[in-house]
Each structure stands twice: as structure tokens, then as C-alpha cells.
Chains A and B, each alone.
Chain A
Amino acid sequence: MKNKNFKTYLSFFILSIILVVVFLWDLSTGNAKVPFNELLKFILPWEKSSDEYYLLIREFRFSRVAMAFIAGTALSVSGLLMQTIFRNPLAGPYVLGISSGAGLGVALVVLGTGFLSFSLSSITIIFSAIIGSAAVLLIILAISMRMRDTVSILIIGILLSGVIGSIISILQYYAADINVKSYVIWTMGSLSSVSFRDIKLIFPIILFFSFAAFILSKKLNLLLPGESFAITMGVNLKLIRIFTFIIVSILTGVVTAFCGPLGFIGIAVPHIARWLFNSSNHFVIIPASFIVGGIVMLFSDILTHVFVSQGIIPVNAITAIIGAPVVVWIVVKNKRVIV
């Protein structure tokens, strides 16, 4: 047991170092190169970087990189919660249509009222995304209480995404061209539409609700052997479902509001975390998914800049390229997918 604990702490230590390295690497990546010593000056509180670099890093780089980190952590934690609560290894905010729901919420605001820029009203966008994702999650939860079959729930999630997609298409038809353009750009999954002010708003929210998820670890662990087991071990199923529901809606909603629907992170990262730590214990896997999610997303963001010299490719394209093989590899390795 002692040996196992040591290995767990060591893994967390190594992952944290990787996280810091990837974070700095991503900060230095972009259309304009930032010298490493300027980067250090920005990070270290007792040093002062030159004004132009300070502005560049703070206003353009740091917000984008911090958003990548936040998006990765939030989506991974909500993916993990969904896999546990639905007892379904293939669940995730994207697959079950929760991200689409958030998308519909945003579409109604962006296409309907014509907010061109998020800076106009971040709060409105965040709320519409949370309400959208909560609505879809509520439908999926209601169905999952009647139907235990994991495949059926996945199918319903996919169908729901389809229906939402159609509604959004119809909305686009009636919306003004300029609104459609800003909406389409949003769906591509951009990390750079966020300002430093937004980060200061979102980061505490994500941190708070990720910690809230961590607090639920004991109950989530008891859910792993099955719902009947959990009940006889003293878990109030209704209560834990409501808490998870709130956490997932907010984590997914907030991130989707700023970055658009990001695929594969939510489903793949919890599997990577379980594989790395050889455990399903939520006390370990929630913080692990948090860190690994951050690393994967930051790395994806770096790749969007590496492949093209000018401009960026949508980060959504990269997450799928990284995420899908990971899931396939884990399935093949284990012969089956385990929650």
C-alpha cells in the first residue's frame, strides 16, 4: 500500500511538471515569437518584462493559454462525472449532446439577438450555454432513469445532437449573415476569443466546481459497483444525481460558451487518467483528469500553431486527432472499456 501511495504522489508530481512545461511552451507559441527570458519575466513576480511583450503576453497569449487549460480541465472532469453517473465508459459532454445543448443556448442568443462579440456580454453567453447544456442533460438523465442500457442512451444522445443541429440550422437560415458568421466561427472551437477579464471570471468558477466534484468522490466511488450497491452503502442517489447534474452543466456550459463545442477531451481524458494511475478511485482520478485534461488541451493548442505558420486551425480538429486514437488504443489494450 505504501509503495502504491508513493507511486501515486510521484505520478502527480511528474504530471504537474509536464503541465507547467506545456503551459510555458504554449505561452511562447503563436504568430509572434516570445523570447524565453521575456516569458520568465512575465511569470516571475519580481521581474518586469518590457511593455510590448507584457501587453502581448497578457492580453493575447495568456488569456488564450489559460482558456486552453481551463477548457481541458473542465471538460475532462465533467466527462469523468458523466461516465460514472451513467455507468457508461463512452459518455462525455460531446457524445451525449450536452455541448450541443450549450451550443443551442448560445445560438439562440447570438443568432437571435445579434451579439457580435462576447465582450458585449460574457455573462449572457455563459448563462445561455449553461441553461442549454442543463436542458439536454435533464432530458438524458430522465431517459437514463427509465432505460439502463448504455448503448440506447448513447443513441439518444446522438439523436438529440442531431435534432439540436437541425434547430440551429433553421435559426441560421433566418439570422442575419454577420451573426451567422460569428456563430460559425464560435462552433469551430476557438480559444482566442477570451479576454483577460473573462479568465478572471471563469477560472474561479471552474476551480470551485471541480473541487465540488472532488468532494463527491466517496459517493462516486460507491456508485462504481452499481446503483443498488451504492444505495445499500448509504448513497442518496437522487442527491448525487442533482449535484453531478449541476456541476456538469456549469463546467460544460461555461467552457462551451467561450470555446464552442470541443470534442473528444471529455471522453478520452478520464480513460487516460485511469490508465495512468491504474485505478478508478475518484479521489485520484478527478485531480488526475483535471491535470491531464489541462495538458492535453494545451498540447492541442500548441499543435494548432505548429502546423500552420499563419493563422490557426480550429482546436477542435486537433482534439479529435489526439483523442480518438487514445480511446481506440485503450479499448484494444484492455479488450474492453472500463469505467
Chain B
Amino acid sequence: MMRDTGLNIHDLSVGYKYPILEKINLSLLPGNIVCLIGENGSGKTTFLNTLAGLLKPKKGKIRLGEKNVTDLSVSHRSKLISYVPSKTDAFVQLSVYDIVSMGRSPYTNIFDLKSAEDKELIDKALENFNLKTLSDKKLFEISDGERQRCMIARAFVQQTPVILLDEPAAFLDYHNRKKLIEDLLKLTEVDKKMIIFSSHDIDLVSKKLQLFWVCDKETGTIFEFDLSKEGENKTILEIIGN
């Protein structure tokens, strides 16, 4: 039953001209969070870009419940998958409020009119990510970390079952990093989201998370590593070391 609503990746190959990662077979159920790890250039971002629909898969299928994600229209996909890239162009004259409220655009009409419910969601996200005082500031007036929080708040407002985040903690300080992971965990448990995020911060993440997808450069694929199953014998650091 659960399988029908989950994310299923079947025999997926991702890459640009040539595949970087091949034969990826993974699945994720609602209410689960997974951390994507791997060294630089192992294809983490390429994999996330493919899931987000920015890159066409070289081969294989990505299914979300009954739907084949690659066949969906962009507007349909934007209601199912939200994506926070690792970097955002700062040189636009848009305010923090503008960006966060864009999270509602997949649901609004052509004139982008927002309902009271939409506005409430936006306000909640601004508060939750400590952006209230910055809401009128332009993107180029705030720091990298604040900008990143702004993009994450936008993804939350988008209210999709799947959330993808590419190194969401890269520009955050220790306090905000910890808070972000706690927020992600809460969202997974309470709202039964499926969250995939990449990180280099193994120390912090391995204390909080059980499920890892490891991009392996040598074998050219992604394998799953579940700390709750194997954690007693091996640590995630040993796996990376191997």
C-alpha cells in the first residue's frame, strides 16, 4: 500500500553527455528522510537535478506513486517536487517575501492572486525560518546563509510531497545547520514528506539520521546505507572511507 505513494527509482542513469551514475535502484517511502553523500564530482547534484526534472534521465524511470515523473508537465511536477539548489542568483531586485511567496505560484492563477490560506503559509514559513525581519530586504542585501534559508522557506511553502535540497547547509552556521536538520526531521515525521538532501557534514548528519544514499564514484552508482540495520557493526564514516 505504502509503495503506491512512495518514490521509486528504477534502473536510472544520470549524466550530461555520458552517464555519471548508472543502474540506480532506490525507493523512499513517505515519512522518510535520506541524506545523499559522496565526494566532490560523484554526481550528487546531477542526480538531484534529474529528480527535479532539470535534466532528462539517460535511462530508467522515476516514479512517484502511480505517476511517471519524467512524463509529467512542468506545472504538474512543481506541485509534487520542490527543489532547493545549492546556489541562487542574488542579483535580482526581489525581496525575501517575493521569493518565499513564489512557493505558492504553482497553485495560484495567472494574476498570481493569493488566498488568505496562501498568505498564512507564507507568514508561517517566514517566521519558522527567522526571516520575518528580513522580509522586505532584497536578495542582494542579505548574506548567503540568509538567502539559503529564504530558498528553503520557499520550498516549504510549495507544499510538495517530495523535497530535494542540494547542500542546504553549505552557507549556514552551526546553530542554523542543526535547526535545519531538526526542521527537516519534523517535516518528515509530521507531514509525512519524502526529503532527499545532500551534505558534506557527515558528523552532524550521522547523529540525527539513519538513512543514507551513497554516491560511489568507483562503482558509478548509488547504494543505500541504513544505520539502523548496519550501524552496530559499521559507522557511516567507515563506509565513506571504503
Contact = CB atoms under 8 A, between A and B. Distances in A.
Shortest Cβ-Cβ A-B pairs, 6 listed: A234-B78, A280-B93, A234-B75, A218-B112, A232-B83, A234-B106
Interface string B222-241: 00000000000000000000
Contacts of B73: 236
Given A218-B111, A225-B99, A229-B85, A234 B79 contact: yes
Interface string A203-231: 00000000000010110011011101101
A61 B225 CA distance: 78
Interface in B54-109: 54, 73-79, 81-83, 85, 88-89, 91-94, 97-99, 102, 105-106, 108
Contacts, number: 79
A339 interface: yes
A6 B182 CA distance: 40
Interface string A254-275: 0000000000000000000010
A1 B91 CA distance: 23
A280 B94 contact: yes
Given A229-B85, A234-B79, A280-B94, A222 B54 contact: no
B17 to A, nearest CB: 14
B77 A225 contact: no
Interface in B158-179: 158
A234 B94 contact: no
Interface in A223-247: 224-226, 228-229, 231-236
A150 to B, nearest CB: 11
B190 interface: no
B103 to A, nearest CB: 8
8 contacts: A217-B111, A217-B112, A218-B105, A218-B111, A225-B139, A232-B54, A232-B83, A339-B92
A231 to B, nearest CB: 6
Contact of A225 (B53, B92, B110): B92
A338 B138 CA distance: 11
A218 B52 contact: no
Nearest to B87: A226
Interface residues of A, number: 27
A255 B143 CA distance: 43
Given A225-B89, A226-B88, A231 B53 contact: yes
Contacts of A224: 92, 94
B195 to A, nearest CB: 15
A221 B54 contact: no
B105 A338 contact: no
Contacts of B98: 221, 281
B111 A283 contact: yes
A91 B73 CA distance: 30
Given A225-B94, A278-B93, A338-B91, A231 B74 contact: yes
B104 to A, nearest CB: 10
A336 interface: yes
Interface of B: 49, 52-54, 73-79, 81-83, 85, 88-89, 91-94, 97-99, 102, 105-106, 108, 110-112, 136, 139-140, 158
B147 to A, nearest CB: 10
Nearest to B135: A1
Given A225-B89, A228-B85, A234-B79, 19 more contacts: A218-B108, A218-B110, A218-B111, A222-B102, A226-B89, A228-B49, A229-B85, A231-B74, A232-B54, A232-B77, A232-B81, A232-B83, A233-B78, A233-B106, A234-B106, A280-B94, A283-B111, A283-B112, A338-B93
A222 B105 contact: yes
A279 interface: yes
A148 to B, nearest CB: 11
Contacts of A232: 52-54, 77-78, 81-83
A338 B140 CA distance: 10
A182 B132 CA distance: 61
Contacts of A231: 53-54, 74
Nearest to B106: A234
Contacts of B75: 234, 236
Nearest to B104: A233
Interface in A47-97: none
Contacts of A4: 136
B105 A336 contact: no
Contacts of B74: 231, 234-236
Given A231-B74, A232-B78, A221 B112 contact: yes
Contact of B92 (A235, A278, A338): A338
A225 B88 contact: yes
